[in-house]
């Protein structure tokens, strides 16, 4: 996936679009993350990004970028269907890695701790 497409996916939307993305992400994140766990080598970063996106203390633009990437991750239909073993999450991984790299400085130790706990104990 090239940078232009990733840039289009990560484009922050308006408040209504971000609310829709947040609802979709909250509803589907853990189910999708469970399926992707073996294929994504950065699960702790991904889950920390999830908590960062839901944190109201996170700047709006950062939340918007993360919600856009996470919404793409949880969509059942994307560039490469997630059911294709070994390839299904490669496009998702590219989008997620780009988003996480863009906002890395906003993912706090609290987000990382919540991610480690969720991965160890399961989500609350």
In this predicted structure, the answer to whether residue 65 has a pLDDT above a threshold of 60 is yes
**What mean pLDDT is predicted for residues 72-92?**
62
Residue 107's pLDDT band, with cuts at 50, 70 and 90, is very high
Full DSSP string of 66-119: HHHHHHHHH-S--SS-TTSTTTTTHHHHHHHHHHHHHHGGG--HHHHHHHHHHH
pLDDT at 4 over 90: no
Q: Which residue has the higher pLDDT, 92 or 96?
A: 96
**Banded pLDDT at 76 (limits 50, 70, 90):** low
Give pLDDT tens digits for 27-45.
999 998 888 877 778 999 9
């Amino acid at each position: 996936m090239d940078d232009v497409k990733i840039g289009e996916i990560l484009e922050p939307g308006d408040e209504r679009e971000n609310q829709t993305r947040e609802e979709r992400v909250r509803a589907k994140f853990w189910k999708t993350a469970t399926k992707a766990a073996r294929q994504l080598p950065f699960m702790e970063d991904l889950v920390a990004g999830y908590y960062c996106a839901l944190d109201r203390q996170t700047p709006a633009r950062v939340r918007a970028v993360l919600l856009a990437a996470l919404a793409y991750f949880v969509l059942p239909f994307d560039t490469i269907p997630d059911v294709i073993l070994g390839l299904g999450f490669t496009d998702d991984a590219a989008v997620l890695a780009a988003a996480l790299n863009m906002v890395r400085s906003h993912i706090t130790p609290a987000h990382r701790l919540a991610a480690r706990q969720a991965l160890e104990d399961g989500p609350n």
